[in-house]
Amino acid sequence: MQKWFNTAGPCKADIHYMLPASERLPELEKLIAQENYFVIHAPRQTGKTTAMINLAKELTESGQYVAVMLSVEVGAAFPHNPQLAQNSILNSWWNQVRFLQLPLPNPSQIQQETGVSQLDLQTVLQAWSMASALPLIIFVDEIDALSDETLISVLRQFRSGYPNRPKGFPQSLALIGMRDVRDYKYASGGSDRLQSSSPFNIKVQSFTLSNFTLEDVNRLYKQHTEATGQIFTPEAVDLAFHLTQGQPWLVNAIAKEIVEYIAKDPAIEINVDLIEQAKEILIKRQDTHLDSLAERLREDRVRIIVEPILSGQELVNTPEDDLRYVLDLGLCNRDSRGGIQIANPIYREVIPKVLSSITIASLTSIAPTWLDQDGNLNAQALLDSFIMFWRQHGEPLFGSTPYPEIAPHIVLMAFLHRVVNGGGTLEREYAIGSGRMDICLRYGTVILAIELKVWRDKNPDPIKEGLQQLDKYLSGLSLDTGWLVIFDRRSGLPPLSDRTTTENVISPAGREIIVIRG
């Protein structure tokens, strides 16, 4: 049977390329054998549900357990009515158990045996465990969809039944979601979190499902090669891993775009050019996965971390919970030294584009005067167009951005997106504490490197530091010229239209630099 790269819902082994669940979380089988309860949390679309469904299948097929993955998501509609939530959850559980044809008693059998007319989760799990000839293993998916009284009720029932395992309660039970237990919502409106795992203090450990390694990406792509003969070059695999940092949805999405749309003929070798092409399509299209991340950018607790990263500033007095939140979302990760950074190059492309989307929509009337008659980019014409745009539209557009502290960055990015919309690309580099953002604009044969710096109150003119940083950036790109843009954010300045200037300077390494101040 033909298989496909999957980007929608859990993978199915018979129709999708996938990696074995037990290999992604090898510690779990030992924990299950030791009758432990635990938590697995990871960002959306990293393969949690796929891994747990298939692990349950592997455990059941081993003949040692009866294992099943069950969701509690339907109970989210009743945050303040635990009984209605449980009724909804139990109905979905029985549908799943019936579909899987597991040897577990149905509701009427449990009611008849227990004499209980109104069933709850603890009663059902106890009845299932007592009736099963083999130890029962339960994976509870979407646990953090629940909140308030319903969440507390469910967690306390699990804790209450725990001492009776394995004969009178599941031998092992795992909570699966985006967040760890202490971060589950419990207050009205979901604005507060548990702050401790006390309603589920029986957990022995919390795990996160890691992204794919380079070897994992290679193995996944090789499944397609073995099935169709279509080859991914080693350089293409390396680039796919670099762009995605192994994020499972992105790894699959890039491959799917290529093999199903860009290069459908298996005789076409998949090289770095096709990987780049697929990446640009994903960024431009902004599919559900990327769109859902974009929605998070509007949350204050995300903004206070992403905003300093984009501007290269330090994180100041950032709540530990907010830091954990962006890590759990998968929006950021830690670098090799423990610092915070945007999780992968594709997210680094998407985030500024999303933040500048409203501003971009305001620029459709700006004519592309930076192109010559043959459609080629003229660098001097681009500079002239930018200065005119900045003087006329920069300040009024600052209010259109959701991140006011980096409004100039976002407006500039909107302008550059307008430039590359006709057939170029933008690449960005930024990091906490670097005090800078690097931009590389590519349009045909033209490559333009831009360094962004901010001049704030009580700080010296950043031109010296900016020229040194730009020299390093230009050296890496093998370029002799570039732009240094200095946003002057000091108080008491004249209007942007009056203070925007340009000058040509020579960098410490002897390069010709255009310094733009505004």
Task: Profile the chain (518 residues) by mean pLDDT over runs of 10 residues.
Answer: 90 90 80 93 84 91 96 95 96 95 92 90 97 97 91 94 96 90 56 56 79 96 97 98 95 97 97 95 79 81 88 80 85 85 90 81 79 91 93 84 84 88 80 75 94 91 95 94 94 91 96 96
Whether residue 79 is preceded by a cis peptide bond, meaning omega within 30 degrees of 0, is: no
SS3 480: coil
Distances (CA, A) of 135 to 67, 139, 205, 507: 8, 13, 20, 71
Alpha carbons 406 and 308: distance in angstroms, whole number:
8
Alpha carbons 178 and 46: distance in angstroms, whole number:
10
CB 490 within 8 A of CB 454: no
Residue in the block written with tokens 């240094």: 484
SS3 294: helix
The contacts of residue 439 (CB under 8 Å, 6+ apart) are 413, 416, 426, 427, 428, 449, 450, 451, 452
Task: Please give the angle made by the CA atoms of 54, 55 and 61, to the nearest 5 degrees.
Answer: 90
Instruction: Tell me the H-state helices in 25-106.
Output: 28-33, 48-61, 82-100
The contacts of residue 23 (CB under 8 Å, 6+ apart) are none
Residue in the block written with tokens 């008849």: 112
End-to-end CA distance of the chain: 61
Residues forming beta bridges with residue 447, ordered by sequence position: 442
Residues forming beta bridges with residue 512, ordered by sequence position: 481, 506
Alpha carbons 234 and 425: distance in angstroms, whole number:
24
| The 425-430 sheet, strands edge to edge | 425-430, 437-443, 446-455, 481-488, 512-517, 501-506
Task: Of 241, 250, 243, 236, give the one whose Cα is nearest residue 217.
Answer: 241
CB 64 within 8 A of CB 308: no
Count of beta carbons in the 10 Å neighbourhood of residue 495: 10
Residue in the block written with tokens 């960024």: 283
CB 86 within 8 A of CB 120: yes
Single-letter code of the amino acid located at 231:
I
Strands 136-141 and 172-177: parallel
Identify the pLDDT of residue 294: 73
CB 379 within 8 A of CB 442: no
Alpha carbons 221 and 219: distance in angstroms, whole number:
6
Alpha carbons 281 and 323: distance in angstroms, whole number:
30
Alpha carbons 69 and 177: distance in angstroms, whole number:
13
Count of beta carbons in the 10 Å neighbourhood of residue 201: 12
DSSP one-letter string for 456-472: -TTS--THHHHHHHHHH
CB 467 within 8 A of CB 513: yes
Strands 340-342 and 425-430: unpaired
Identify the pLDDT of residue 84: 96
Alpha carbons 146 and 73: distance in angstroms, whole number:
7
Torsion of CA 106, 108, 110, 111, to 10 degrees: 160
Alpha carbons 382 and 367: distance in angstroms, whole number:
11
Q: What are phi and psi for residue 402, nearest 5 degrees?
A: -80, -10
Task: Of 173, 169, 68, give the one whose Cα is nearest residue 125.
Answer: 169
SS3 234: helix
The contacts of residue 285 (CB under 8 Å, 6+ apart) are none
Identify the pLDDT of residue 69: 95
Identify the pLDDT of residue 447: 95
Alpha carbons 229 and 280: distance in angstroms, whole number:
25
